[in-house]
A and B are shown apart, each in its own frame.
Chain A
Amino acid sequence: MKYTDYIKTEKFPTFFCAGCGNGVMLGAMARAFEALNLPLEKIVAVTGIGCWGKVEDYLKVSTLHGTHGRALAFATGVKLANPDLHVLAIMGDGDSITIGGNHFIHAARRNVDVTAIVVNNLNYGMTGGQYSGTTPETKKTSTSRYGHIEQGFDICKVAEAAGASYVARELIDNPIQLKNRIIEAMQNKGFSLVETISPCPTHFGRNNGMPSAVPLMHYIKENTVPIAKAKNMNEEELGGRFVTGRLRSVPREDYGTKYAQIIETAMNVKE
């Protein structure tokens, strides 16, 4: 299979704005499917609501488009009921860590074998650029015109703290690495996260004096540090910047495998 076999290219151009990173992430996902040689019907992509949450419109794999924030909960059921499936939860910063934050930390803790693909564009793109749980402090959005006064989440740090066995972040100007991380994440048996920080020139950029992808990408790069460099920096030197690379890869037995043992035990117990 070619990566284009996983995408409804006949629907191109996508409805994503010029300068948005969603198309790059879509390409990286499809190339990962190609590399893993996965049959279309064995992949289920579960989405929520948002710009990135509409990406299933362009995927040829089986899809379940659910509700805002609940993609991981739907995905939990899909995967546990059929362990042979490759299940992805495709979410933005709203779905994953804002309205869906509770499911996110518990899916990581529970270690269900689902791969979370998060495109974090630092605001709510679909509804017109309001602030989300990842909007950085001081930034302007359509609901923080005077500058944002909350601290934004570092999604990868949350995932690590909650027990995710695989966590990675790459920027969209590095699509080969993105693809490689998605491959690693899908091969990891357990909850895995691949996050990208993506430019939203239409809203986040425009509201903050960076109305096109180029200055916005510069801003994102200025605020990220590769893990090799970050290792030798302290918290103060990092200054809240995002770290990119493979941040955690510590396999642990997933929920489904453990539950299979529960079934074995229970089947030998008399009612």
Chain B
Amino acid sequence: MSRDNVYFAMGNEAITEGALAAGARFYAGYPITPSSEIAELSSIRLPQVGGMYVQMEDELGSIAAVIGASASGKKSYTATSGPGFSLMQENLGVAVMIEMPCVIINVQRHGPSTGMATKPAQGDVMQSRWGTHGDHGIIVLSPSTVQECYDLTIEAFNYSEKYRMPVVLLADEVVGHMREKYIRYEVPPEKLVNRKQPTCDSKNYKPFDFGAEPDGIAPLAVFGGKYRFNLSTTMHDEACESCIRPDNAEKFVRHFVDKIENNYDDIVLTREYQMDDAEVAILSFGCSVRSSLYAVRRLREKGIRAGVFQLITLWPFADRHVRELCRKVKAVVVPEMNLGQVLREVQRVNDAGIPVLGVNRVNGEIIHPDEIIACVSEVMA
């Protein structure tokens, strides 16, 4: 590894560079704290690689332009924070419905509403899963380090291209703004996913014929190529003709969910720290992983065998992993900067019936390791 590839940078920079490394060449967005550095850097970096930055009039337009550009064949992304993410929800559903790859970065800040614009939170976990109306599946990844900001942005684009869907990178103000070392690398072509292209005769192309594909994902042509095709937010059939037949609607809505659930093993990413001999797991994600890691070090000094179980993929939820985890340890503690959004998911799969406790903060301050230590010590006493 050449020293030239080692950077000391903030998470938002690493996200931008990750997007470029993944092959993204179009950004449309509306600046908002604490994500604005992604807009600023994208406006500088994209044209350097022949890409394009456009600052839209609002977040509704931003995600719409991103979806439009992706339909024209450019890997596209936008970055925002809570209030903007709320505005994007309707058109996030468009990307679900027309199965259009794109990446939405949400650098979470305190809420609800304007909240505390410069303060961190992790309150958009459920919004990222259920924010847009109607049943659907979604992939949400959450970085806890600057390196993960780079790595997971690349993963986000790969998943979005592979499964033809929007992917949310759910960062937070802490990770977005802190500076630490990260290594920038070029992604080898074989590790870079590009949406599957149709090969059929142009007359026979059906943009939503997922059933005809072994992997259940229909090839997606680009506007302006040899294929002429339709994309519609209205319920459609395989050829994208409007279709409100009950069996058709049932098939498509289930497809939007199944294409995620059926690929659990490929999509659900987790990371374990000192879990081999752990009696108690601290299950966390994003910036709260950092407090958790420090807590584990101190707990081990006190003789408590604790480990960190990090959710990298927040959605689909790591049901199987966490169910297994609950069978293995005596207790799970879930630190998160919200009032229990991931905690409830852990409780849902806790078939073993072990104690599952939350450590929660909604005051705009990162969770202090002492709070985690106190909670673990109490439950293990």
Interface size class of A (residues with CB under 8 A): 35 or more
| Segment from A41-49, A178-186, A226-234, A243-251 that makes contact with B | A41-49
Structural contact, B242 and A77, CB atoms closer than 8 A: no
**Which residues from 251 to 287 on chain B have a C-beta closer than 8 Å to any C-beta of chain A?**
none
Using A78-B223, A80-B26, A80-B52 as known contacts, say yes or no to A66 and B233 having CB atoms under 8 A apart.
Answer: yes
Contacts of B234 in A (CB 8 A): 65
Residue of B28, B62, B231 with most chain A CB atoms under a 10 A cut-off: B231
Contacts of B230 in A (CB 8 A): 56, 62-65
Structural contact, A63 and B57, CB atoms closer than 8 A: no
Q: Does A74 contact B (CB under 8 A)?
A: yes
Could you tell me the distance between the alpha carbons of A102 and B60 in the complex, rounded to whole angstroms? 10
Could you tell me the distance between the alpha carbons of A60 and B230 in the complex, rounded to whole angstroms? 9
Contacts of B370 in A (CB 8 A): none
Structural contact, B48 and A81, CB atoms closer than 8 A: no
Structural contact, A106 and B223, CB atoms closer than 8 A: no
Q: Does B344 contact A (CB under 8 A)?
A: no
Contacts of A271 in B (CB 8 A): 45, 48
Q: How far is the CB of A15 from chain B (nearest CB, A)?
A: 10
Q: How far is the CB of B313 from chain A (nearest CB, A)?
A: 27
B47, B61, B224: the one contacting A103 at CB < 8 Å is: B61
**Which residues from 209 to 226 on chain B have a C-beta closer than 8 Å to any C-beta of chain A?**
222-226
Q: How far is the CB of A251 from chain B (nearest CB, A)?
A: 21
Structural contact, B26 and A84, CB atoms closer than 8 A: no
Could you tell me the distance between the alpha carbons of A255 and B53 in the complex, rounded to whole angstroms? 11
Q: How far is the CB of B7 from chain A (nearest CB, A)?
A: 11
Q: Does A216 contact B (CB under 8 A)?
A: no
B45, B51, B66, B91: the one contacting A67 at CB < 8 Å is: B91
Residue on A nearest B49 in the bound complex, by CB: A267
Structural contact, B47 and A262, CB atoms closer than 8 A: yes
Using A40-B228, A67-B64 as known contacts, say yes or no to A81 and B74 having CB atoms under 8 A apart.
Answer: yes
Residue of A42, A72, A77, A78 with most chain B CB atoms under a 10 A cut-off: A77
B48, B58, B69, B232: the one contacting A63 at CB < 8 Å is: B232
Given A64-B230, A78-B69, 20 more pairs with CB closer than 8 A: A41-B228, A46-B68, A61-B228, A63-B230, A64-B98, A67-B94, A70-B60, A73-B64, A73-B65, A74-B67, A74-B68, A76-B28, A77-B26, A79-B68, A81-B52, A81-B71, A81-B72, A81-B73, A102-B61, A103-B57
